[in-house]
Amino acid sequence: MASEADSSILAPSTIQASIQSGSKRSKGQPPSAVWNHCRTARDTETPGHKYCNYCTKEPIYGSTNSSNMRKHIERIHKIQVELTPSPIQTTTLQQLKQLYLKAESSGQTSEIDTQVFRKQLDQDIINEALISLIVVRNLPFTAVEWPEFHTFCQVLNPESKDAITTTHSQVKNKIEKAYEIHKDTVRKKLQSALTNIHLSVDIWTSPNKHLLLGVTGDFIDCTEEKHLKTLLGLRPVPGHSGEDQFNILLSILQEYGIVRKLGAIVGDNSGTNDTLCRAIEVYLRREEEDLQWSATQWRVRCMGHIINLAVQGFLFHNSISPEELDSYDDLEKRGEFKDGEEIKQKFRLLGPLGKLHNIIVDIRSSANRTAEFLTLATRMVPLDNRTRWNSWYNSLVVANKLAAGIDTYTKDHWDDLKDDFITPGDWAQLRTIEEFLKPFHTATLKLEGHKGTLENVLFTMDIIIQYFQDSLVSVFFSRKIPN
């Protein structure tokens, strides 16, 4: 049982005062901790002052006050000066430890522990971390109702039970609030940009079959004067038409207040993007005080898409139309085949490449056939897709490595695949096609994202044109030389 003296020592007011005094940092630093980052004054500088070692431009910061010098080094140069406790601070800390151990032995530390744990909780930071976890990792909102989740949080901090919501409906509200806060930050960045806002637009279908218009913006930030890229919107769009895209895009520009800062628009070669740009030109001239924005001048075509079209021109010339391929891709995604044999015959017009396509589709036609092929080859062959760049090349890279497994699978299902059997001569041709497509794959990767500058695009175009010419010359002479 604790004595009266012990009880007076551990009275709440005394404990609180001890915690507060122990948590305060000394305003200054011992000279040795700060001045190690400084030098003495030179002939042209103020005698007695110490000068910052890290300042490279005039004026070099100088001071006789260690606290001011520490703040300068930490704020301007982002260097944390290690704290060296003074003898008084060291002695005080030891005394506080002894008091805590004495209180712990008599079971009187619960109030201290509670105050310490609560002091570490910041509601805004907790909300931000929780939202980030759920959104980035695509967790269900009901994750906050999992007992295991709260058990984990309370193991880290027992007082967190009142700081983390247990209602999934609150998660939606918190995400919407955080979105608006961050959106406002992006809006201010865009409106104060040193350049126009250059947009990249594209339509794609989500896994749950929603048609979405993605819009990103590129600009030079006014504070750091560096290139920034941001996602401006990922909005449902009624259709692929230029008018549908224009209505969604205009609403995004208006929300961010950057209609008059619009720069170039980058999109693929679809005619709908031409319609989109013409609609923008008409709107800006009519509604924005005769703002001059030329659809011809500011319409930039995506180099990756151009490369993809060149590859398709090589692969599908006089065999299958792009429209047919689109419809086949949709049928294959949904697993809905009508006149399947007719489609197979269409792909056989591509030669060995079409045969390979038919075999891959057959492998994926049922769970049993997929499992059977995985037993033979240990991995799947990627399915080609007209709109997915480099998909035919990626399919060939894997298929040529798994030729033995594909050959065995074809023979095991001879009744279904005898017309698609790939002969040794066919395999030789597939390896040649893979080798031919490799530079296009490399060029596409080289021009992805921020690497697609005008300088790199023009250089890549020159390389590809030269590659085509050299390939044509090689084919011409190989045909002229007799066996």
pLDDT attached to residue 322: 67
- My answer on whether 312 and 286 are in the same domain is no
The range of the structural domain enclosing residue 135 comes to: 121-175
Most confident of the ranges 30-39, 219-228, 303-312, 324-333: 219-228
For range 255-259, the mean pLDDT:
94
Cβ neighbours of residue 281 closer than 8 Å, sequence gap 6 or more? 293, 294, 295
Query: Taking Cα atoms as reference points, which of 369, 342, 365, 348 lies closest to residue 421?
Result: 348
Number of separate domains in the chain? 4
- My answer on whether 453 and 395 are in the same domain is yes
Indicate whether 6 pLDDT > 50. Answer: no
- My answer on whether 270 and 332 are in the same domain is no
Indicate whether 4 pLDDT > 60. Answer: no
- My answer on whether 202 and 162 are in the same domain is no
pLDDT attached to residue 146: 95
Tokens at 88, concatenated: 């008084």
Where are the extended beta strands (E) located within 41-122?
50-52, 62-63
Indicate whether 246 pLDDT > 60. Answer: yes
Indicate whether 406 pLDDT > 60. Answer: yes
- Residue 18 inside a domain? The answer is no
- What does pTM read for this prediction? 0.65
Could you tell me the pLDDT band of residue 327, with boundaries at 50, 70 and 90? low
pLDDT attached to residue 474: 58
Instruction: Look at residues 258, 290, 322 and tell me which one is the last residue of a structural domain.
Output: 290
Give 54-85 pLDDT, tens digit per residue. Answer: 998 888 999 988 889 989 999 888 888 877 77
Q: Rounded to the nearest 10 degrees, what angle do helices 391-401 and 303-316 cross at?
A: 60
196/278 Cα distance (integer angstroms): 19
- My answer on whether 314 and 429 are in the same domain is yes
pLDDT attached to residue 429: 92
- Residue 423 inside a domain? The answer is yes
pLDDT attached to residue 9: 37
Indicate whether 337 pLDDT > 60. Answer: no
Eight-class DSSP state of 381: P
Give 460-474 pLDDT, tens digit per residue. Answer: 888 888 888 887 755
- Residue 470 inside a domain? The answer is yes
Lowest-confidence pick of 117-126, 226-235, 251-260, 471-480: 471-480
- My answer on whether 371 and 423 are in the same domain is yes
Indicate whether 87 pLDDT > 90. Answer: no
- My answer on whether 279 and 315 are in the same domain is no
pLDDT attached to residue 481: 42
Indicate whether 223 pLDDT > 90. Answer: no
- Residue 111 inside a domain? The answer is no
Cβ–Cβ < 8 Å for 167, 144: yes
For range 112-128, the mean pLDDT:
85
Could you tell me the pLDDT band of residue 140, with boundaries at 50, 70 and 90? very high
Give 349-385 pLDDT, tens digit per residue. Answer: 888 999 999 999 899 889 999 999 999 999 999 988 7
Q: Which residue has the higher pLDDT, 340 or 329?
A: 340
pLDDT attached to residue 3: 42
Indicate whether 47 pLDDT > 80. Answer: yes
Q: Which residue has the higher pLDDT, 150 or 314?
A: 150
Query: Taking Cα atoms as reference points, which of 247, 234, 243 lies closest to residue 202?
Result: 234
Could you tell me the pLDDT band of residue 143, with boundaries at 50, 70 and 90? very high
pLDDT attached to residue 335: 55
- Residue 136 inside a domain? The answer is yes
- My answer on whether 259 and 400 are in the same domain is no
Indicate whether 48 pLDDT > 50. Answer: yes
- My answer on whether 462 and 421 are in the same domain is yes
417/321 Cα distance (integer angstroms): 24
For range 86-105, the mean pLDDT:
80
Cβ–Cβ < 8 Å for 257, 187: yes
Instruction: Look at residues 41, 61, 85 and tell me which one is the last residue of a structural domain.
Output: 85
Indicate whether 478 pLDDT > 60. Answer: no
- My answer on whether 233 and 136 are in the same domain is no
Q: Which residue has the higher pLDDT, 400 or 43?
A: 400
pLDDT attached to residue 326: 66
Q: Which residue has the higher pLDDT, 472 or 400?
A: 400
Could you tell me the pLDDT band of residue 334, with boundaries at 50, 70 and 90? low
| E strand or H helix that includes residue 97 | helix 87-105
Q: Left if phi > 0, otherwise alpha if psi is -120 to 50, otherwise beta: which for 160?
A: alpha
Could you tell me the pLDDT band of residue 431, with boundaries at 50, 70 and 90? very high
Share of the chain above pLDDT 70, in %: 87
- My answer on whether 208 and 171 are in the same domain is no
Could you tell me the pLDDT band of residue 29, with boundaries at 50, 70 and 90? very low
Q: DSSP string spanning 313-341?
A: HHHHTTT--HHHHHHHHHHHHHT--SSHH
Could you tell me the pLDDT band of residue 17, with boundaries at 50, 70 and 90? very low
- Residue 451 inside a domain? The answer is yes
- Residue 299 inside a domain? The answer is no
- Residue 340 inside a domain? The answer is yes
Phi, psi dihedrals of residue 109, rounded to the nearest 5° = -100, -5
- My answer on whether 242 and 316 are in the same domain is no
